[in-house]
């Protein structure tokens, strides 16, 4: 699919939030301080495009909060309320860009594009990659539609869902570990190879209707807990005591932890906490294969497997399920729906009734196990990949 910009002038809104693309040297390190106009001033404007700038924040994105993300969600919504606007570009720090972009994608109902970009080298650097990325993002925002929220970086177009920061410093900062990028920038055109899969978008959460400072205190707490050899369930228990309504367990391997952690998950779920399990491994799905504290037991304890979504985006899915206007009893089901929109279809039921993160409601009842996951994971893995 080759997208060439429609004839006629295009009107875009650029929302500036900070990040390296807006950073200058502060004497001891870089920090975001430049305005959206400064960010735009360095970039060439593609012909026929006019840009209105909204200065929203000046933060480096490791300081991003749910409250700021909801403010941005509302700002994008407000920008698109003007039917004369053809698309929105958001400039953002790269550290948490994948989280913010995914939150917006889960709530994006408009055919017009929202395109995130940023930089790995600061605004003040002579060789900053910011101007080129802004030019490309404007070009994409002026050309495509019906692709949801996108990330444009280093000449590539990525879907928000599934895309993670894979390079700390190099210019090609983003990738989806399992998929080719959605497209790339060509000479005056945008080549799109696939349409990202997305679940039915959510309406704006009630919290996004109110000014951020009024809601900041009432936003649900969602903690992320990393598993490792020697991991102590204390941190999961403490998160619950601290009032977490959601927890993302960043497990090892295909979603495995320990029997003690499975007990803590069970206690958390009994208290109404939404627990999701992802993995610290770079690529591949989490799957119900192992018992003895593995994903089989974590699911039995009430946790939801996050398919191929990595920790940052899994946390955003949990947060979005908690923010949605649904009864607490339906949140797990909603979370599964948000995870189901994965661009990577879930592996199907395996021999022995073993399945991956397909929704429990949707999955066929497990057949009596010919060989349980604990007895024969290797055979089942082989069957899966056959
Ligand atoms: N390249 C960047 O934008 C990194 C920066 N620390 C940020 O996320 O704000």
- Highest mean pLDDT, choosing among 182-191, 223-232, 353-362: 223-232
Residue-wise pLDDT for 180-191, tens only, equals 899 999 888 899
> 220-376, which class in CATH?
alpha beta
Return the higher-pLDDT residue of 215 and 199: 199
Please give the average per-residue pLDDT across 261-274, as a whole number: 98
Quick one: pLDDT at residue 206? 84
**Is the pLDDT at 66 greater than 90, yes or no?**
yes
Quick one: pLDDT at residue 3? 75
Same CATH topology for 2-192 and 220-376?
Answer: yes
Please give the average per-residue pLDDT across 352-368, as a whole number: 37
C-alpha 272 to ligand 1 mean position (Å): 35
Best CA proximity match to 205, nearest among 316, 115, 308, 314: 316
**Is the pLDDT at 379 greater than 70, yes or no?**
no
Which member of 94, 96, 117, 215 is catalytic?
Answer: 94
**Mutational test site, ligand 1, from 17, 18, 19, max ligand atoms within 8 Å of CB:** 19
| Residue-range domain boundaries for the chain | 2-192, 220-376
C-alpha 20 to ligand 1 mean position (Å): 5
- Find out whether 99 and 70 touch, Cβ atoms under 8 Å: no
**Is the pLDDT at 344 greater than 60, yes or no?**
no
117 is catalytic: no
Quick one: pLDDT at residue 4? 72
Residue-wise pLDDT for 93-102, tens only, equals 999 999 999 9
**Is the pLDDT at 347 greater than 60, yes or no?**
no
Confidence of residue 261 (pLDDT cuts 50, 70, 90): very high
Interface predicted TM-score (ipTM) of this complex, two decimals: 0.98
The structure's pTM equals 0.88
Length of the chain: 386
Residue with CA nearest ligand 1 atom 3: 93
Please give the average per-residue pLDDT across 339-366, as a whole number: 44
Which member of 17, 20, 215, 279 is catalytic?
Answer: 20
Quick one: pLDDT at residue 366? 33
**Is the pLDDT at 345 greater than 70, yes or no?**
no
Quick one: pLDDT at residue 217? 57
The CATH number fitting domain 2-192, selected from 2.60.40.3470, 2.115.10.20, 3.20.20.140, 3.40.50.1170: 3.40.50.1170
Tokens of 47: 């012909």
Q: What is the mean pLDDT of the chain?
A: 88
Best CA proximity match to 21, nearest among 57, 71, 75: 57
**Is the pLDDT at 59 greater than 60, yes or no?**
yes
% pLDDT > 90, the chain = 80
Confidence of residue 340 (pLDDT cuts 50, 70, 90): confident
Confidence of residue 218 (pLDDT cuts 50, 70, 90): confident
C-alpha 37 to ligand 1 mean position (Å): 19
Pocket of ligand 1 (CB under 6 A): 19-20, 60-62, 93-95, 118, 120
Quick one: pLDDT at residue 210? 63
20 is catalytic: yes
C-alpha 89 to ligand 1 mean position (Å): 17
Quick one: pLDDT at residue 103? 98
Please give the average per-residue pLDDT across 26-32, as a whole number: 97
Please give the average per-residue pLDDT across 100-113, as a whole number: 98
Helix axes 97-106, 66-80, angle to 10 degrees: 50
């Amino acid at each position: 699919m080759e997208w060439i910009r429609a004839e006629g002038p295009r009107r875009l809104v650029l929302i500036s939030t900070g990040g390296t693309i807006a950073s200058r040297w502060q004497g001891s390190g870089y920090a975001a301080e430049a305005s959206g106009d400064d960010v735009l001033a360095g970039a060439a404007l593609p012909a026929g495009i006019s840009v209105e700038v909204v200065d929203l924040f000046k933060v480096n994105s490791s300081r991003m909060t749910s409250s700021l993300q909801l403010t941005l969600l509302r700002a994008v919504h407000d920008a698109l309320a003007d039917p004369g606007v053809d698309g929105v570009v958001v400039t953002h720090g790269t550290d948490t860009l994948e989280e913010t972009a995914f939150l917006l994608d889960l709530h994006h109902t408009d055919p017009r594009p929202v395109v995130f970009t940023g930089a790995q080298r600061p605004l003040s650097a002579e060789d900053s990659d910011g101007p080129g990325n802004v030019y490309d993002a404007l070009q994409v925002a002026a050309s495509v539609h019906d692709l949801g929220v996108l990330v444009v970086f280093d000449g590539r177009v990525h879907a928000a869902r599934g895309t993670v920061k894979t390079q700390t410093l190099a210019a090609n900062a983003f990738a989806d570990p399992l998929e080719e990028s959605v497209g790339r920038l060509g000479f005056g055109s945008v080549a799109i190879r696939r349409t990202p899969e997305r679940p039915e978008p959510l309406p704006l959460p009630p919290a996004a209707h109110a000014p951020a400072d009024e809601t900041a205190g009432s936003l649900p707490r969602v903690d992320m807990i990393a598993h490792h050899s020697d991991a102590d369930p204390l941190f999961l228990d403490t998160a619950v005591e601290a009032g977490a309504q959601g927890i993302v367990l960043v497990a090892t391997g295909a979603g495995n932890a320990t029997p003690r952690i499975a007990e803590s998950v069970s206690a958390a779920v009994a208290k109404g906490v939404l627990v999701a399990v992802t993995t610290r491994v770079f690529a591949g799905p989490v799957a119900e294969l192992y018992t003895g504290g593995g994903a089989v037991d974590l699911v039995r304890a009430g946790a939801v497997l996050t398919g191929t979504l990595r920790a940052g985006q899994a946390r955003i899915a949990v947060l979005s399920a908690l923010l949605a206007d649904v009864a607490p009893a339906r949140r797990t089901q909603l979370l599964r729906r948000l995870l189901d929109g994965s661009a990577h279809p879930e592996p199907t039921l395996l021999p022995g009734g073993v399945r991956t993160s397909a929704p429990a409601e949707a999955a066929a009842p497990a057949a009596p196990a010919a060989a349980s996951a604990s007895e024969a994971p290797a055979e089942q893995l082989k069957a899966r990949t056959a």
